[in-house]
Structure 1
């Protein structure tokens, strides 16, 4: 298969997948299904990007297999986590707010929005493709470093999600802001670890000496993820919702804890 044919198939897959979830939401499914489907889609097309034979883009088979495995692991863990949350509630407050803002144009603006998400998913999978197709044979220190970053990201994101779930499950914490564990170092540790994983793919793609020019294109993945999480669909709408629902408690939290980059708290928690 040619690289153009593979990219066309991957782009079509994510576009059709997001179209399907749009139709489901229009039929009454909870908006939480959007991120659920997106997470599983990125993993599925990422595995294909790593493993499908492409003429002229042969890499080390062991590297391809390991990267496909970690892509599947990340996708399965995140998708399953969001699926459980969706089955409990169904609605994502970010999409509920968009529906309120878009009014009568909600249906078609959501369709366009989800196709933009499909384009983002496709760009992220090209990062996996570049990492898997690095032509260097045998293990390099960059492979070890990059894959270690991906595993750290999967584990860290899982810990952050578990800490938040445990906090929300506490009967005395209703209406409070989670600041335990990793949430005391960053207001969005799950987002930070998600970004870190894409940095890991870029490290593998670039390699130890950076001599493979195509590998540098993998930096588009973490750059896109940072932009989306910090400036577009991650932190801004979520923090707007938290400000509406938690008020002064959340304002105090923002003064103590960094939004994205983990770090020591500034000042003491007030009661």
Structure 2
């Protein structure tokens, strides 16, 4: 299949998937289902983008491995979010609903279609990586597999640690800073971004015969911008500051927002009495 036709079909499919997500949210009142549908739909679209071969060619080992890994990522994340959404509303969407008021439904539809467009960028990056003409499954490919494995496992561990923290009634009103959450305020976002960092490695061709492979860099660049600057960390941290106040501000001072690293020690400000 030609790249142009594949991109067109993926665009239509993703638009339909996010229209379904809009319908599910409107009918159920559970906005978190939008992210669940996005995760599964994006994983499926990227798996298709990976496995569909060029005209006159058969799928390669690289394409099959990429499709399996991306489908695994989408299913794990989507099912986790769906389970969480069934028990409460996403605070980021709740705030948007408050801001949009009577225009909530139409604004939400447009918002989710923008998410479909973001998924299409990811799928195009997958196409660029999967159609690497290098015949062998080489070192760069194995590095990519290791990156995805670490990313999926890390995101799953972070999700379990947060769920266990919230399930303990002694932690009510507290900020989760245990395990991976003591190294990053958003380890789940970090590992979600890390998944897409595998694509440039799958796209790498030492011979220089795959210039289209540079398009694969768009996926980690886009996901970093969305998670760190737009729809991930900023609205979630605004919610946490409203709900946790001083405790979350202290957490912000100790722990990096995105990149994992050792926590910083608490600093105490000593007030001096003015000179007489």
Shorter-normalised TM range? over 0.9
Give the stretch that moved more between structures: 41-50 or 208-217.
208-217
CA offset at residue 52 of structure 1?
1.7
Map of 1:88 onto structure 2 = 87
For structure 2, which runs of at least 5 residues remain unmatched after alignment?
269-276
For structure 1, which runs of at least 5 residues remain unmatched after alignment?
none
3-state DSSP of counterpart to 1:127: helix
How far does the alpha carbon of each residue in 1:75-104 deviate from its partner, in whole angstroms, 9 at most, with x for none?
A: 111011101101222x11101100111112
Does the CA-based 8 Å contact 1:19-1:111 persist in structure 2? Answer: yes
From the superposition, tell whether residues 157 and 211 of structure 1 become closer, same or farther in structure 2 (CA, over 3 Å): same
Map of 1:18 onto structure 2 = 18
Provide the C-alpha distance between the structure 2 equivalents of 1:229 and 1:9, rounded to a whole number of angstroms.
Answer: 26
Provide the C-alpha distance between the structure 2 equivalents of 1:10 and 1:103, rounded to a whole number of angstroms.
Answer: 32
- CA-based RMSD: 1.6
Provide the C-alpha distance between the structure 2 equivalents of 1:149 and 1:110, rounded to a whole number of angstroms.
Answer: 33
Q: How does 1:224-243 map to 2 (within 5 A)?
A: 224-243=222-241
Please give the TM-score of this superposition, normalised by the length of structure 2: 0.93
Match of 1:196 among 188, 194, 204: 194
How far does the alpha carbon of each residue in 1:160-203 deviate from its partner, in whole angstroms, 9 at most, with x for none?
A: 11111111111100110000011000000110111111011122
Does the CA-based 8 Å contact 1:131-1:202 persist in structure 2? Answer: yes
Provide the C-alpha distance between the structure 2 equivalents of 1:33 and 1:182, rounded to a whole number of angstroms.
Answer: 25
2:271 maps to 1:259: no
Please give the TM-score of this superposition, normalised by the length of structure 1: 0.95
Provide the C-alpha distance between the structure 1 equivalents of 2:149 and 2:199, rounded to a whole number of angstroms.
Answer: 11
Map of 1:178 onto structure 2 = 176
3-state DSSP of counterpart to 1:138: coil
Provide the C-alpha distance between the structure 2 equivalents of 1:131 and 1:66, rounded to a whole number of angstroms.
Answer: 12
Provide the C-alpha distance between the structure 1 equivalents of 2:71 and 2:18, rounded to a whole number of angstroms.
Answer: 19
Q: How does 1:69-80 map to 2 (within 5 A)?
A: 69-80=68-79
Larger radius of gyration: 2
Q: How does 1:137-216 map to 2 (within 5 A)?
A: 137-208=135-206, 210-216=208-214
Map of 2:46 onto structure 1 = 46
How many aligned positions are there? 268
Q: How does 1:83-162 map to 2 (within 5 A)?
A: 83-89=82-88, 91-162=89-160
